[in-house]
Amino acid sequence: MQKILQSLPIALALLAGGCAILDTADETAGPRHPAASERGATPELPAALVPDALVSFETPASLPDPLPPARPDDLWQRIREGFRLPEADDPKVRQQLSYFAARPDYMARVAERARPYLFHIVEQIEARDLPTELALLPVVESAFRPFAYSHGRAAGIWQFVPATGRHYGLTQNWWYDGRRDVLAATDAALDYLERLSELFDGDWLLAVAAYNAGEGRVMRAIERNRAAGRPGDFWSLDLPRETRHYVPRLLALRDLVQAPEVHGLSIPEIPNEPQIATVELDHQIDLALAAELAGITVEQLYQLNPGYNRWATAPEGPHRLVLPLELAEAFRTAVAERPPESWLRWERHRVQPGESLIAIARRYHVTVDALREANDLNGSLIRAGSHLLVPVASRPSGEYALSAGQRLRAQQDRQRAGRERQSYVVRSGDSFWSIARRHGVGVRELAGWNNMAPGDTLRVGQQLAIWTEDAQPVRTARAAPEARLQSVRYTVRKGDSLYAIAQRFNVTVSQLRQWNGLGTGGYLQPGQTLRLRVDVTAQSSR
Active site residues: 141
Whether the Cβ atoms of residue 153 and residue 456 lie closer than 8 Å to each other? yes
- What are the backbone angles phi and psi of residue 391, rounded to the nearest 5°? -70, 130
Burial of 403 (0-12, 13-18, 19+ CB in 10 A): buried
Transcribe 437-488 into DSSP letters: HHHT--HHHHHHHTT--TTSPP-TT-EEEEEESSSSPPP-TTPPPPP-EEEE
Name the residue among 223, 150, 197, 183 with its Cα closest to residue 448: 150
CA dihedral over 330, 334, 340, 342, signed as positive or negative: negative
Q: How far apart are CA 372 and CA 392, in angstroms?
A: 15
Please, what sign has the CA dihedral across residues 445, 447, 453, 457?
Answer: negative
Phi and psi dihedrals of 346, rounded to 5? -120, 145
Q: How many CA atoms lie within 13 A of 524 on its CB side?
A: 21
- Strand (E) or helix (H) holding 256: helix 241-258
Contact 514, 358 (CB under 8 A): yes
Contact 278, 322 (CB under 8 A): yes
Full DSSP string of 523-535: ---TT-EEEEEEE
Query: 185 — phi, psi (to 5°)?
Result: -70, -30
Please, which residues have CB within 8 angstroms of residue 406's CB and are 6 or more apart in sequence?
A: 397, 398, 400
Task: State the Cα–Cα distance between residues 254 and 29, nearest whole angstrom.
Answer: 36
- Which stretches within 33-160 are classed as H helix? 36-41, 52-57, 75-81, 91-101, 106-127, 137-142
CB 254 within 8 A of CB 85: yes
